[in-house]
Amino acid sequence: MDFEPWWLIFLPLLFALGWIAAKVDLRQMLSETRSLPNSYFKGLNFLLNEEPDRAIDAFVEVAKLDPETTELHFALGSLFRRRGEMERAIRVHQSLLSRADLQAADRESAQHELAQDFLKAGMLDRAEQAFERVLDTRFAVPAVRALIRIYESEHDWPRAIEAVKRLRALVDEPVPQLVHYQCERAVAALALRPPDIDAASAALDAADNAAVALRKEGRGQASEARIAILRAQLARAANHPERERAYLASVLDAAPEYASLIAADLLESYRSVGQQAEGLAVLKAHYLRFPSLDTFNVVFRELRAQEGYQPAWAFAREALRAHPSLLGLDRLLEAELATGDSASVNLAAGADLSLLRSLIHKHTQRLDRYSCRICGFEARHFYWQCPGCNSWETYEPRRLEEIK
């Protein structure tokens, strides 16, 4: 394209327009800057100098001087909550809600923030009421999730179940803990004196229905195990020993990793009908396929009782050779000492079995625990819900030594 001399006429015009635009922007910026209180700039300066406490005080002063700074109120409230200053966070969000001129969207946000303040402060009743006020807003999903956590902490399983159903209507996703809510209802019914057989059975039927989606995804072993264990307890309460044994034995196939939780009860069920030899054979065969310390302990003790020390120690040697374990050896020595016949063990001459066991036990105490894979909380007993972080199905049915 050829250059035309008359184009030069536009150059001064373009420069003039640019100069006018710059002057307008500069005047607007200066005007806005003059309208900001000095506390605002002090707060920014404190933040840059990594003095958050003094920055907060400065921003609070800004909020007092200019009540219209809604976004600053929200920022302050969230900051107070993160720092654990719950009273100040609550006051900030309540002051927002008290404003008659607050926009509807901002009012919903303030209500949701206030609900989170109450929840973190442990004021569950007020948190529940606050979350219920935003159930019909854009915060419905997080509000329902929070209500589920509240009902869990209160062990209000019927309301937790209703909240989960509401969540399922909002988002299409499985909720694995629904199975455990129904199981907790069954546990409560079985704990009554006398047990409420009908209520427990209905709760377990509902748990079975809730577990269908998990079975399809191939991740329902824990649910299968817990339902079977509770059905076995229900059968025992109803005086149906054969049904109890059938439910316990079903864990071996449906959730083999959880066999250690029912090994002792399954053996006792066989013993109650005089079939302890069959029960031992079943557990021994399962251990060879799915070895675990607790199952090893049950099998060794029963072998010792039924067949004597030689078969028991032969099994123990092979098991510990295949799966070396200090905790396994500790359990073995504990069982042998309980028989009062330590001389039967083929140890070196002069060995003190009791001393050997005490030395080993000292080093295995920290390994004889279950551990949450989410928060690492350790416990001597198996939990379906972690006492530390309240997550479900985060405990493996194995001791720490088996996992590490």
Q: How far is CA 390 from the centre of its chain?
A: 4
Q: How far apart are CA 200 and CA 189, in angstroms?
A: 5
The label of the residue with tokens 């079985």 reads 190
Running DSSP on this structure, what letter comes out for residue 9? G
Running DSSP on this structure, what letter comes out for residue 389? T
Is residue 389 part of an annotated ligand binding site?
yes
Q: Cα-flanking dihedrals φ and ψ of residue 209, to 5°?
A: -65, -40
Helix (H, G, I), strand (E, B) or coil at 351: coil
Is residue 375 part of an annotated ligand binding site?
yes
**E runs forming strands in 300-388:** 370-371, 378-379
Helix (H, G, I), strand (E, B) or coil at 17: helix
Is residue 183 part of an annotated ligand binding site?
no
Q: Cα-flanking dihedrals φ and ψ of residue 379, to 5°?
A: -150, 150
Sign of torsion over alpha carbons 243, 249, 255, 258: positive
Q: Which two tokens stand for residue 7?
A: 């184009």
Q: Cα-flanking dihedrals φ and ψ of residue 372, to 5°?
A: -75, 130
Is residue 386 part of an annotated ligand binding site?
yes
Q: Cite the annotated binding site by residue number.
A: 372, 375, 386, 389
Q: Cite the annotated binding site for Fe cation by residue number.
A: 372, 375, 386, 389
